[in-house]
Amino acid sequence: MIFIAAKFRVLPEHADRWPEITAEFTEATRAEPGCLWFDWSRSIDDPTEYVLVEAFRDDQAGAAHVGSAHFRQAQQTLPPHLAETPRIVNTTVPQDDWSELGEMAVPSRG
């Protein structure tokens, strides 16, 4: 899978509305057949920073995402709300889902 983590520093006046601002883009991306997940989190240390963790099935799914109409639209509509260019880590991982964090294994509760 293609695994991506990106940090978005949002202008303070838009930070509380960021989930609303990105809602259409997020929904459209999650509906892509090759999208495994597309999840936003907000920093607990910096309320203007959001982290996007996303994964796509393979290179073709990643290319389809970047070539989509909703991605091109986001390239136009999201930057005016940002304080700086987002930072990204992008890598290929030989798996297709999250692995368990064995060091914090939780015994069965059932």
For residue 38, list its beta bridge partners.
54
Looking only at the bridges linking them, the beta strands covering 2-9 and 35-42 are: unpaired
pTM: 0.93
Token readout for 92 is 């290929």
User: Tens digit of pLDDT for each residue in 9-52?
Assistant: 999 999 999 999 999 999 999 999 999 999 999 999 999 999 99
Token readout for 78 is 């999201």
User: Tens digit of pLDDT for each residue in 42-92?
Assistant: 999 999 999 999 999 999 999 999 999 999 999 999 999 999 999 999 999
**CATH placement of domain 2-94:** 3.30.70.100
**How would DSSP label each residue in 20-84?**
HHTHHHHHHHHTSTTEEEEEEEE-SS-TTEEEEEEEESSHHHHHHHHTSHHHHHHHHHSGGGBSS
3-state secondary structure of 87: strand
